[in-house]
């Protein structure tokens, strides 16, 4: 095997011909596979199926969950998330199926009304900016884009965002009001923020008094190596030590623990933030679905129950990650045309082509029946200046399908790379 | 029996002494009853209990409801609401537990972004106003108050809002962007809008091109007299005839059909509005709880199933309304100090004292252990200039409790009236 960069143009052309023939053959197989979104597989959706058998409706405080009331969540649901996130129960607000919508609400309310540390609503602050570690999660970026909040890229490394840059930017620019973080098994690179990174987050001194860290702990218990999981330092505790607890909103959900289509979500925050969220939420709803909260809290009655469930998830996930990673290794290593992450949890593999090839790879895959997340999606405004990052979501197809999809994907990477290098 | 207004002051004082003694006696009974909110009773919450036994998760289109996707609702849930509201399925967006939160979203989005007929977001329009038929629903008013939307009272009569006034105001003032309506079994007066009122709504010619009717059809199938229910003309059809379909958002939910703490909700609207709602919602969530949608749609598989459920609700409701209405009739008629509604559906009785007595009645009741909706709550900003309207919610206590509560209430009305008349 030879690095492509060491080939002559003639060698590259000849190699490209062979690969294209192989591509055409695979195209003929009419594949229809999807590695675009982090959807749990059918097997995973069956793990917590007993939740669906629970007909109970009385919460531990005697409240009939079938009726109106309790806007901030029933006690046992608060405790469930409190245990998962290692925060006090009384600092947890429990919502409905979507943690994204809780994040959305927190941003929207800040725009319309300001948060508890705001002098005025963000809509009256002129330009408002958020820091966005990249590559990152497209749905975070979409909220900012919808609201006209300017996004500033910050590189995400092995230990988290470039904290020198984060510290400098938030200290010098009071129009920077927030930052999006997926601190454990980051979407899409899979890294977990180091202890130092978390400590530096808790010690931030933003010029904007109403700055907020949107800490989307979506993969808090979503380990692949269950015996030796990544450990994320607790931002809540660190902020408490620093007297900066108002600065963070911590989100999580059971979407990838029980059911992505019928789970429960939460936000954990300071006493003042939670009071504010409850106050705003009371205008919007009489309450979230408390039956879902109850059935989840009874099923995940302690951390052992959560761990048991996540162990089962990890088995289904590991075989899928392995199918893709083994194929990438086999098909692409040594050519000098790609690098990718080898995550220890979460839902994604982050893949980088040589510059200006990602869009072409995604298009080639699509034309052969394999759908990937759009190239650029991992960057604000969909703009990956290098056009090199691709998010691979291996959770949903079967391992057999993934072998095929990853093989096709590798082929497309080779083709796109050679096309680019030949020019 | 003598009208109080025909009594001498000495007679009134003597009567007041007797009533106060009776009040003190009842105070000693340490009542703890609540007629404040429209909560279903325990019996009602058991009617649709089979929904909780449904473990199915595959929608009729083959979609696994446990997984991510389908932001606008599964087909059978759309059809369920389409049948209830008599609108096309494709014009229905199905949400989560709370229709209030769908209303809130529609207002918030108009403020932040404008709706599909807006030239600019409402936040950039200077003063924005809503018409509020009074007495009305406090949670509607709270949304406007939260957002600084100025509320203009419009009297609600037997046939609906004063349409002469509504037509004139919306035609002459382009800052009027919306109106709140509970068109069937209105909260709190229980009236149903007449056909003419609905036709005039559909034919409105507002100066504001982005004016919206917020048609909260919360009690669409919530009849007390199931053999002879009120019939509400279909606003959707009337607007269609007039080419004004963009002008209305129609809301409903199963909160008082299945479970107030775990139901599903919807908004029905024009194709353009639904597309806009779906677009905005996609930024906010990957999807509502589709398991709840599926279990509801399977249980309420046709209108006959809905009607059967509502017939059962009506039995529990009717005995409660009767307990209160019979008591009011027995205790208060003939004194010339009160009038109240005799609703044919919905959840409330609207009660009017003589001027400037409502707060006193509510306070007297509270001090004797009976909680009512706060006086003034049925008006924007909580300001009932006459201080005379009280909303009675008889759904939750038992009939026996209601007899007692209504008797105490009547006593308090007499006391407050005499105090006022004696001066």
The band of A354, judged by pLDDT with boundaries at 50, 70 and 90, is very high
pLDDT digits (tens, 9 = 90+) for B274-313: 999 999 999 999 999 999 999 999 999 999 999 999 999 9
Place of tokens 């879902």: A292
The band of B256, judged by pLDDT with boundaries at 50, 70 and 90, is very high
Closest partner residue to A111 (CB to CB) among B96, B112, B260 is: B112
Taking CA atoms, what residue in B is nearest to A73? B261
| DSSP labels, B69-100 | --TT--HHHHHHHHHHHTS-GGGEEE-SS-HH
Give the predicted TM-score (pTM) of the model. 0.97
Q: Which of A66, A142, A143, A147 to mutate to test the interface with B (most CBs of B within 10 A)?
A: A66
Contact between chains at A289 and B67 (C-beta distance less than 8 A): no
Alpha-carbon span A291 to A297, nearest angstrom: 10
User: What per-residue confidence (pLDDT) applies to A208?
Assistant: 98
Contact between chains at B55 and A53 (C-beta distance less than 8 A): yes
- Cα-only R_g, chain B: 23
Q: What is the mean pLDDT of residues A109-135?
A: 98
User: What per-residue confidence (pLDDT) applies to A180?
Assistant: 98
Alpha-carbon span A181 to A154, nearest angstrom: 11
Percentage of residues of chain A with pLDDT beyond 90: 99
Tokens encoding A93: 């607000």
Contact between chains at B260 and A286 (C-beta distance less than 8 A): yes
Q: What is the mean pLDDT of residues B140-163?
A: 98
β pairing state of A150-157 and A160-161: antiparallel
The band of A273, judged by pLDDT with boundaries at 50, 70 and 90, is very high
Contact between chains at A67 and B37 (C-beta distance less than 8 A): no
Provide the shortest C-alpha distance from residue B112 to chain A (in Å).
8
Q: B132 with A325: CB under 8 angstroms?
A: no
Place of tokens 């100090």: B337
The band of A2, judged by pLDDT with boundaries at 50, 70 and 90, is confident
* Residue B396 reports pLDDT greater than 90: yes
Q: Which of A44, A51, A128, A284 to mutate to test the interface with B (most CBs of B within 10 A)?
A: A284
Name the residue among B178, B302, B300, B313 with its Cα closest to residue B251.
B178
The band of B339, judged by pLDDT with boundaries at 50, 70 and 90, is very high
Residue-averaged pLDDT of chain A = 97
B chain contacts of residue A291, beta-carbon cutoff 8 Å: 52, 259, 261-262, 292
Q: What is the mean pLDDT of residues A326-330?
A: 98
User: What per-residue confidence (pLDDT) applies to A356?
Assistant: 98
Number of H helices, E strands in chain B: 13, 13
Closest partner residue to B285 (CB to CB) among A49, A98, A111 is: A98
Q: What does the buried/exposed string (b/e) look like for B313-343 if buried means 16 or more CB atoms within 10 Å of the residue's CB?
A: bbebbeebbebbbebbeebbeebebbebbeb
Q: B155 with B176: CB under 8 angstroms?
A: no
Provide the shortest C-alpha distance from residue A412 to chain B (in Å).
28
Q: What share of chain B is helix, strand, coil (3-state, %, to 5)?
A: 45, 15, 40
User: What per-residue confidence (pLDDT) applies to B249?
Assistant: 98
Sorted by sequence, the CB contacts under 8 Å of residue A259 that are 6+ apart come out as A45, A48, A51, B66, B67, B291
Q: What is the mean pLDDT of residues A147-168?
A: 98
The band of A40, judged by pLDDT with boundaries at 50, 70 and 90, is very high
Tokens encoding B88: 């096309």
Complex ipTM > 0.90: yes
pLDDT digits (tens, 9 = 90+) for B92-129: 999 999 999 999 999 999 999 999 999 999 999 999 99
- Work out the burial of residue A18: count CB atoms within 10 Å of its CB; fewer than 13 is exposed, 13-18 middle, 19 or more buried: exposed
Provide the shortest C-alpha distance from residue B144 to chain A (in Å).
10
pLDDT digits (tens, 9 = 90+) for B167-192: 999 999 999 999 999 999 999 999 99
Tokens encoding B386: 């006459």
Contact between chains at A67 and B261 (C-beta distance less than 8 A): yes
* Residue A22 reports pLDDT greater than 80: yes
Helix axes A99-113, B99-113, angle to 10 degrees: 50
Closest partner residue to B289 (CB to CB) among A96, A139, A286 is: A96
User: What per-residue confidence (pLDDT) applies to B2?
Assistant: 84
Q: Which of B74, B262, B264 to mutate to test the interface with A (most CBs of A within 10 A)?
A: B262
* Residue A189 reports pLDDT greater than 80: yes
User: What per-residue confidence (pLDDT) applies to A199?
Assistant: 98
Contact between chains at A261 and B69 (C-beta distance less than 8 A): yes
């Amino acid at each position: 095997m030879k690095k492509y960069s060491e080939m002559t143009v003639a060698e590259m052309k000849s190699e490209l011909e062979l690969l294209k023939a192989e591509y055409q053959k695979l195209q003929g197989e009419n594949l229809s596979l999807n590695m675009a979104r982090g959807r749990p597989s059918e097997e995973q959706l069956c793990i917590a199926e007993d939740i669906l058998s629970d007909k109970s409706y009385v919460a531990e405080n005697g409240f009939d969950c079938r009726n109106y009331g309790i806007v901030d969540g029933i006690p046992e649901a608060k405790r469930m998330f409190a245990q998962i996130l290692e925060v006090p129960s009384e600092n947890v607000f429990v919502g409905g199926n979507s943690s994204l919508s809780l994040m959305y609400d927190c941003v929207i309310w800040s725009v319309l009304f300001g948060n508890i540390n705001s002098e005025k609503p963000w809509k009256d602050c002129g330009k408002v900016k958020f820091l966005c570690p990249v590559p990152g999660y497209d749905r975070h970026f979409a909220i900012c884009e919808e609201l006209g909040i300017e996004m500033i890229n910050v590189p995400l490394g092995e230990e988290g965002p470039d904290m020198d840059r984060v510290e400098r930017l938030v200290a010098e620019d009071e129009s920077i009001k927030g930052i999006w973080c997926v601190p454990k098994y980051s979407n899409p690179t899979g890294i977990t923020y180091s202890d130092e990174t978390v400590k530096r987050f808790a010690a931030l001194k933003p010029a904007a008094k109403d700055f907020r860290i949107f800490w989307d702990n979506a993969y808090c218990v979503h380990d692949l190596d269950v015996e030796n999981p990544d450990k994320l330092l607790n931002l809540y505790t660190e902020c408490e030590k620093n007297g900066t607890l108002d600065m963070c909103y911590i989100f999580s959900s059971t979407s990838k623990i029980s059911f992505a289509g019928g789970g429960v979500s939460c936000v954990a925050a300071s006493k003042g933030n939670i009071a504010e969220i409850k106050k705003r939420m009371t205008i919007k709803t009489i309450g979230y679905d408390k039956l879902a909260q109850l059935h989840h809290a009874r099923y995940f009655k302690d951390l052992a129950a959560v761990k048991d469930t996540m162990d089962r998830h990890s088995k289904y996930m590991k075989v899928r990650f392995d199918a893709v990673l083994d194929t990438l290794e086999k098909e692409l290593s040594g050519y000098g045309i790609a690098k990718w992450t080898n995550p220890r949890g979460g839902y994604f593999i982050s893949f980088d082509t040589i510059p200006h090839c990602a869009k072409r790879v995604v298009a080639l895959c699509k034309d052969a029946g394999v759908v990937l997340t759009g190239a650029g999606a991992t960057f604000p405004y969909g703009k990956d200046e290098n056009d090199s990052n691709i998010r691979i979501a291996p959770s949903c197809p079967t391992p057999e399908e993934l072998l095929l999809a990853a093989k096709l994907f590798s082929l497309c990477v080779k083709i796109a790379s050679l096309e680019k290098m030949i020019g």
